[in-house]
């Protein structure tokens, strides 16, 4: 289709503008059909550069005439009228008060995390098989994801071989970190495991500095000093201390650090819900072989029978199902909450979550802790809070500089 762009120029006769033809060979983009809503200024059948909508010399308005033989109704394509303010749809209650939705996300994140940690430890008190329980966590999450995809909530994102290669290292580190965390939970008090896991920011900073080659500000390193000091104090006098629990928690820290590194290399446009679903499914296949090899014979010999004898078959199966569901949902809500708030807010929330988990686990299980352990834990948590706040502030300043 050919279009001619004419502009008013020069004197007019009886109010009728004199039309002058402009050579559009260099000014018009190739013919295309693009919706006006995509930001282009459209002339029927052709999109023009925005600068052409005004005459460069006298800024007179332009007249567009189509010279091709088309139907009469196609000669002019009027723009869709915008809705008036009076026709606007009423704002819903949740849209009017978004802080209520965000507050609900935080509450459910904390609630599910605390319930998971308590129920998980109760299971280990009568069924001390962390490799098998880790598989159950991921298996329940995988079934949940497959069910969600089946009903289209959310719609499953496509997967290709290139993306799969990028996600496999992330999922392997996720699986290793998850299993070793559970080994620690089974071996020592929940509060002590979470105190050790407070060292995770230290490993993240070290990996960023020495593996990724990023420069870490001295303020961040200084904020990590109380974390190391507090964890050391808590470990020396922890009544439930054993080396299996301590080393497993440390391996978990290292694994999740490498998960963060590989996640940065596997940046994708996929939404967080689908991304976590794929990582869960891949991690499940990673965890199954060691669970069969290390715990399979014991489970078949007496593990299942002992657990059923202690709590009954119904409660045993119910506990395994719900601990897996709580695990998946709290991780998913943590990701969704991060998408709703600024990194600074999420950092504060993450620190408070750890405080809630440690506090509630001590109350529920009646764990006795020494004064030095309590002080060390408090110092470590305070150090994590300082690190998180400083790091979030630095990240926010970087984003502001990029957007400026």
Kind and range of the H or E run holding 376:
helix 371-403
Q: Could you give the dihedral angle defined by the CA atoms of residues 332, 337, 342 and 345, in that order, rounded to the nearest 10 degrees?
A: -110
**Interacting residues of 320 by C-beta distance below 8 A, sequence separation 6+:** 123, 133, 136, 140
What is d(CA 278, CA 167) in angstroms, rounded to the nearest whole number? 8
Give pLDDT < 70 ranges for the chain. Answer: 1-94, 97, 267, 342-348
How far is Cα 287 from Cα 249, in angstroms, rounded to an integer?
A: 17
CA proximity to 278, closest of 165, 202, 116, 111: 165
Instruction: Look at residue 298 in the predicted model and tell me its pLDDT.
Output: 95
The pLDDT assigned to 209 comes to 84
CA torsion 113→115→118→122, rounded to 10°?
-130
Structure tokens, 174: 């996720």
Cα 296 from Cα 388, distance rounded (Å): 41
Q: Give CA–CA dist 356/387, Å, rounded.
A: 19
Q: What is the pTM of this model?
A: 0.69
- Number of other residues whose CB lies within 10 A of the CB of residue 361: 22
| Model pLDDT, residue 23 | 52
pLDDT recorded at residue 54 = 42
The answer to whether 114 touches 352, Cβ cutoff 8 Å, is no
Q: What is the pLDDT of residue 49?
A: 38
**CB neighbours of residue 258 within 10 Å:** 19
Please state the domain extents for the chain: 121-403
pLDDT at 40: 36
Give 202-213 pLDDT, tens digit per residue.
888 888 888 878
State residue 88's pLDDT score: 53
Closest CA relative to residue 6, chosen from 50, 42, 60, 51: 60
């Amino acid at each position: 289709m050919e279009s001619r762009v004419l502009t008013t120029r020069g004197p007019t006769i009886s109010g009728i503008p004199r039309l002058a033809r402009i050579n559009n060979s260099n000014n018009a983009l190739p013919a295309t059909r693009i919706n006006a809503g995509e930001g282009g200024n459209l002339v029927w059948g052709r999109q023009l550069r925005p600068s052409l909508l005004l005459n460069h010399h006298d800024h007179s308005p332009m007249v567009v005439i189509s010279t091709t033989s088309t139907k009469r109704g196609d000669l002019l394509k009027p723009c869709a009228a915008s809705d008036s303010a009076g026709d606007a749809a009423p704002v819903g209650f949740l849209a009017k008060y978004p802080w209520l939705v965000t507050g609900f996300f935080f509450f459910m994140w904390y609630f599910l995390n605390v319930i998971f940690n308590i129920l998980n430890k109760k299971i280990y008190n009568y069924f001390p098989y962390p490799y098998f329980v880790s598989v159950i966590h991921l298996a329940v999450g995988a079934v949940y994801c497959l069910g969600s995809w089946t009903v289209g909530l959310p719609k499953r994102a496509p997967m290709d071989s290139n993306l799969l290669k990028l996600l496999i290292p992330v999922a392997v580190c996720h699986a290793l970190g998850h299993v070793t965390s559970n080994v620690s939970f089974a071996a020592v008090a929940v509060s002590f495991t979470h105190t050790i896991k407070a060292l995770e920011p230290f490993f993240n900073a070290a990996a960023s500095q020495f593996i990724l080659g990023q420069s870490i500000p001295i303020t961040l390193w200084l904020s990590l000093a109380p974390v190391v000091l507090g964890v050391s104090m808590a470990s020396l006098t922890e009544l439930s201390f054993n080396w299996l629990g301590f080393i497993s928690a440390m391996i978990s820290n290292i694994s999740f650090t490498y998960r963060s590194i590989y996640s940065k290399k596997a940046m994708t446009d996929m939404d967080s819900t689908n991304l976590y679903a794929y990582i869960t499914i891949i991690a499940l296949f990673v965890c199954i072989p060691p669970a069969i090899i290390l715990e399979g014979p014991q489970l078949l010999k007496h593990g299942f029978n002992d657990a059923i004898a202690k709590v009954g078959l119904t409660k045993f199966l119910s506990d395994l199902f719900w601990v897996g569901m709580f695990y998946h949902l709290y991780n998913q809500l943590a990701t969704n909450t991060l998408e709703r708030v600024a990194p600074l807010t999420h950092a504060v929330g993450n620190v408070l979550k750890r405080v809630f988990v440690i506090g509630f686990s001590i109350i529920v299980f009646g764990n006795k802790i020494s004064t030095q352990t309590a002080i060390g834990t408090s110092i470590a948590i305070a150090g994590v809070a300082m690190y998180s706040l400083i790091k979030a502030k630095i990240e926010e300043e970087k984003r502001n500089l990029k957007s400026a």
